[in-house]
């Protein structure tokens, strides 16, 4: 199974207040997100994480507890910059992180063109040809037009979203637009 997610902000206590998250502490938030992730993601699943994974400079902490082949699409700016410097010299962590110099990654597999980025776009590659755009960053506050979806934890019960579920969402959006 393939999943997508963003904006965990592991270790970021102020995100609870900023996004009105239903947790009393950062420890409760982190534990709940790890528990919910592992309840649906199996060890052989692939998870594309679209940025703002951890707040602090230690990527190993939460990553060690999560199921799946986690592929963090990281951007050398914003919150990801906090841990990228430490990560660069860590050969153990090299496989799960893809550092993107450009703001997007276009994927044309799964019989669907998908544009992945931490930030939401108003227009993206192949939008008018049915391409999907999956993003985070907005914490549920951006509602663009077209086949766009916020995979961030704040809009998805603090869990990753399966490709199958995203396909259903996009089918519903396409039907509503026609």
Question: Domain of 126?
Answer: 2-177
Tally the C-alpha atoms within 13 A of residue 18's C-alpha that lie toward its C-beta. 14
Q: Please report the pLDDT score of residue 17 as a whole number.
A: 97
Angle at 108 between CA 63 and CA 81, to 5 degrees: 35
- The CATH number assigned to the domain holding 87 equals 3.60.21.10
Cα 76 to Cα 99: distance, rounded to the nearest angstrom: 7
Residue 34 — left, alpha, or beta (φ > 0 → left; ψ -120 to 50 → alpha)?
alpha
Query: Which residues in 6-136 belong to E strands, given as ranges?
Result: 46-49, 69-74, 97-99, 105-109, 112-116, 132-135
The total number of structural domains in the chain stands at 1
pTM of the complete model: 0.87
**For residue 5, what are its two tokens?**
């997610």
Average pLDDT (147-165) is: 97
pLDDT band at residue 169 using 50, 70 and 90 as cut-offs: very high
pLDDT digits (tens, 9 = 90+) for 119-147: 899 999 889 999 999 999 999 999 899 99
Which residues are bridge partners to 36 per DSSP?
A: none
């Amino acid at each position: 199974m393939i999943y997508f997610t963003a904006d965990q902000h592991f270790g970021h206590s102020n995100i609870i207040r900023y996004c009105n998250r239903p947790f009393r502490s950062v420890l409760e938030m982190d534990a709940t997100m790890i528990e919910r992730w592992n309840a649906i993601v199996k060890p052989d699943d692939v998870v594309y994480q679209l940025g703002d994974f951890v707040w602090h400079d230690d990527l190993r902490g939460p990553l060690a507890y999560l199921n799946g082949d986690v592929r963090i699409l990281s951007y050398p700016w914003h919150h990801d910059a906090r841990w990228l410097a430490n990560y660069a010299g860590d050969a153990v962590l090299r496989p799960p992180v893809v550092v993107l110099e450009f703001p997007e990654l276009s994927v044309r597999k799964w019989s669907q063109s998908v544009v992945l980025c931490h930030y939401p776009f108003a227009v993206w590659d192949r939008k008018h040809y049915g391409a999907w755009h999956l993003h985070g960053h907005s914490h549920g506050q951006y509602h663009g037009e077209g086949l766009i979806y916020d995979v961030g934890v704040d809009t998805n019960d603090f869990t990753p979203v399966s490709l199958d579920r995203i396909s259903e969402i996009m089918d519903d959006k396409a039907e509503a637009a026609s």
